[in-house]
């Protein structure tokens, strides 16, 4: 049996070998007074469908609630508080619903005050509660084969589902939010569990099968601590990734096993109490492990992920959603998007996080339009939720986050240009417009901007000034986790890469990513046989082995999952004195992410374009 077949067999034997049956209440009566929301595909496009049969694109808003209650209000850190502006909850709900409908909103996203809003006079908006089934019970970190953990997951879901399931406005459920699925933490927490843990036992079984009971084979990939034999590891001990090894692939197989268990449990629990509402996934944290996303596919109706725009103009990398859809084959709900601005009325400084921040409200509106328009043109995206209804507290919420995310400020005043832009979006028309193929570098490499290696101080500014549309290079790899861009001037070719590169120092004994396990970018130019190699990521400066090449990079920000770099490849590496419009170059580029977990390849011959003028000609 080949490698692919062996891995599949291991996964099936471990994941499906144990049932997911446990005690608890039996399903209660389900009302069928109306049809549920559903998803349909028409002419290559996915749509949500209302109980009435009407197709629609869901435009939602998160955190539509009454803000800080009177007893917790802090005048030193002012925040949105409905009691300051409304005489009653009913008054707040009526005004808020009227606003949202006038702004084109179709859906109440996560964490709304559903009890108040469902009772309002214009309560026709759909709603999508976040159940927190796993996080409340400790999943996926704690033993998901433990009866108590499974029972707690069911209890959390049951209490919420019974309150929602008969409401015809219920669109579907998110099972969780931003679990992270950190592979290093999952390994550590699983090995810390007692020997009787079903989760720990399945990890050990996977290791035994992967390494064919050969302890020395395990040692080639891992450094054990507190265990020197299989028998000892069955009872105790830790494992650290050995630098330069292939152990990351074993860890990803374990991650896939755990993810399948989680999604199977969640589906079974939700369907026990509601057989009709859509299951919308668990809202990935602006990144995802391919193994987790792929494992979700049999158990969800749609997959969901939060979207931090890659740049502060609202644009985002092509791979993020394209690859998520390719991995799952499912429609996508963008469960959060959220441009902010330094100019705001709440006094938000926007400095306790890495979210995209524009300078002005006008730029914020432009970013909103850019993001939503791009999402509407992706045929597999069925909805997008703005985060959030009101600005965060002036000096930050409990975790310090202090962003101008609101449609209204902390004083309950709408940001009129933003809400007018939302109201002016004809979602159905935009959704139905023809989608011409996107431009890319195969049609000609664009000119470089001024200072192409500048602005590598912030992740939302690096590469922003490049022509990323015309300079985009289509990968030859399936399921890419990075975008590559090209541009040029007379003296050089510039190569920019924007990658999802999940770096986990917890995998190492000294909590430092060794140089051999940093991401590697390999570039073969022209007739040159020897590749140019650069080491990137892990929050350290990039290094390149060719003295003639200049490099800039940024990593170690945004949860340590973004890796951005740009290289200047001088003309002489292509055996050229200088470049001119019409010249053709050849490139072959490969990116290996942290510890060689994934790779992306690009290659081809590219023609250099001149500068485009208003008459459509080039000079």
What class has domain 57-181+261-428? alpha beta
Do residues 280 and 270 lie in contact, with contact meaning Cβ atoms separated by under 8 Å?
Answer: no
Residues of the chain with CATH 3.20.20.80: 57-181+261-428
Please give the Cα distance from 474 to 52 (Å, whole number): 41
> If you search the block for the tokens 């193929």, which residue do you land on?
437
- The DSSP call for residue 558 is G
Please give the Cα distance from 464 to 5 (Å, whole number): 42
- pLDDT of 108-124, one tens digit each? 999 999 999 999 777 78
What is the structure's pLDDT at 558? 75
Residues of the chain with CATH 2.60.40.10: 441-607
Please give the Cα distance from 398 to 438 (Å, whole number): 42
Q: What is the mean pLDDT of residues 320-332?
A: 99
What is the structure's pLDDT at 527? 83
Q: What is the mean pLDDT of residues 576-603?
A: 98
pLDDT at 271 over 70: yes
Summarize the chain as % helix, strand, coil (round to 5).
30, 20, 45
Closest CA to 345 of 361, 322, 366, 328: 361
Percent of the chain with pLDDT over 70: 93
Q: What is the mean pLDDT of residues 359-374?
A: 98
What is the structure's pLDDT at 34? 75
Banded pLDDT at 82 (limits 50, 70, 90): very high
Banded pLDDT at 16 (limits 50, 70, 90): very low
What is the structure's pLDDT at 302? 99
What is the structure's pLDDT at 618? 54
Percent of the chain with pLDDT over 90: 89
Most confident segment among 116-130, 200-214, 421-435: 200-214
Do residues 543 and 467 lie in contact, with contact meaning Cβ atoms separated by under 8 Å?
Answer: no
DSSP E strand boundaries for 263-374:
278-279, 303-306, 332-337, 340-341, 357-358
What is the structure's pLDDT at 27? 52
Is the pTM here over 0.85, yes or no? yes
Q: Classify residue 527 as exposed, middle or buried by CB count within 10 Å of its CB (0-12, 13-18, 19+).
A: exposed
Region 441-607: CATH code: 2.60.40.10
Query: What is the DSSP track for 268-298?
Result: HHHHHH-SSSEE----B-S---HHHHHHHGG
Q: What is the mean pLDDT of residues 510-531?
A: 96
- The DSSP call for residue 163 is H
What is the structure's pLDDT at 354? 84
What is the structure's pLDDT at 5? 35
Banded pLDDT at 1 (limits 50, 70, 90): very low
Please give the Cα distance from 281 to 413 (Å, whole number): 33
- pLDDT of 478-496, one tens digit each? 999 999 999 999 999 999 9
């Amino acid at each position: 049996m080949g490698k692919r077949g062996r891995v599949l067999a291991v996964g099936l034997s471990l994941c499906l070998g144990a049932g997911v049956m446990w005690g608890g209440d039996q399903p209660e009566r389900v009302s069928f007074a109306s049809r549920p929301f559903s998803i349909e595909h028409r002419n290559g496009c996915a749509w949500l469908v209302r109980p009435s049969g009407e197709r629609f694109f869901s435009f939602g808003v998160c955190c539509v609630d009454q803000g800080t209650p009177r007893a917790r209000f802090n005048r030193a850190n002012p925040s949105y508080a409905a009691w300051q502006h409304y005489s009653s909850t009913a008054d707040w709900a009526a005004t808020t619903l009227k606003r949202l409908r006038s702004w084109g909103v179709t859906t109440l996203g996560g964490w709304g005050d559903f009890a108040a809003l469902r009772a309002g006079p214009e309560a026709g908006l759909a709603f999508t509660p976040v159940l927190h089934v796993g996080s409340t019970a400790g999943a996926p970190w704690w033993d998901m084969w433990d009866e108590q953990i499974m029972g707690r997951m069911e209890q959390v879901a049951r209490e919420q589902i019974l309150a929602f399931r008969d409401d015809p406005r219920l669109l579907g459920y998110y099972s969780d939010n931003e679990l992270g699925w950190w592979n290093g933490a999952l390994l550590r927490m699983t090995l810390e569990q007692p020997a009787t843990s079903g989760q720990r036992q399945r990890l050990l079984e996977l290791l035994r099968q992967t390494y064919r009971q050969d302890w020395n084979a395990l040692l080639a990939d891992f450094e054990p601590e507190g265990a020197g034999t299989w028998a000892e590891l069955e009872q105790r001990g830790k494992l650290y990734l050995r630098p330069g090894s292939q152990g990351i692939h074993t860890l990803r197989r374990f991650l896939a096993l755990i993810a399948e268990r989680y999604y199977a449990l969640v589906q079974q629990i939700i369907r026990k109490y509601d057989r009709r509402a859509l299951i919308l996934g668990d809202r990935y944290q602006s990144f995802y492990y391919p193994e987790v996303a792929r494992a979700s596919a049999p158990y969800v109706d749609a997959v969901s992920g939060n979207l931090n725009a890659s740049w502060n103009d609202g644009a985002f990398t092509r791979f993020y959603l394209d690859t998520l859809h390719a991995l799952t084959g499912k429609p996508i709900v963008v469960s959060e998007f959220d441009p902010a601005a330094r100019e705001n009325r709440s006094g938000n400084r926007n400095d306790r996080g890495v979210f995209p921040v524009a300078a002005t409200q006008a730029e914020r509106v432009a970013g909103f339009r850019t993001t939503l328009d791009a999402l509407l043109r992706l045929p597999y995206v069925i909805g997008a939720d703005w985060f959030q209804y009101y600005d965060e507290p002036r000096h930050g919420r409990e975790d310090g986050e202090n962003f101008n995310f609101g449609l209204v400020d902390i004083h309950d005043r709408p940001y009129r240009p933003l809400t007018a832009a939302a109201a002016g979006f004809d979602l159905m028309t935009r959704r139905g417009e023809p989608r011409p193929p996107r431009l890319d570098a195969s049609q000609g490499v664009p000119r470089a901007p001024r200072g192409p290696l500048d602005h590598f101080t912030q992740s939302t500014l690096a590469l922003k000034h490049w022509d990323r549309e015309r300079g985009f290079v289509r990968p030859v790899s399936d399921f890419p986790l990075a975008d590559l861009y090209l541009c040029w001037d007379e003296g050089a070719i510039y190569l920019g890469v924007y990658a999802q590169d999940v770096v986990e120092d917890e995998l190492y004994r000294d909590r430092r990513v060794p140089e051999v396990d940093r991401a590697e970018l390999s570039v073969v130019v022209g007739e040159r046989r020897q590749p140019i190699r650069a080491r990137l990521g892990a929050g350290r400066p990039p290094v390149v082995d060719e003295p003639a090449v200049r490099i800039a990079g940024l990593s170690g920000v945004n949860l340590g999952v973004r890796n951005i770099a740009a290289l200047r490849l001088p003309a002489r590496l292509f055996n050229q004195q200088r470049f001119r419009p019409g010249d053709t170059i050849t490139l072959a580029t490969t990116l290996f992410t942290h510890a060689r977990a994934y790779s992306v390849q690009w290659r081809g011959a590219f023609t250099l374009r001149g500068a485009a003028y208003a008459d459509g000609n080039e000079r």
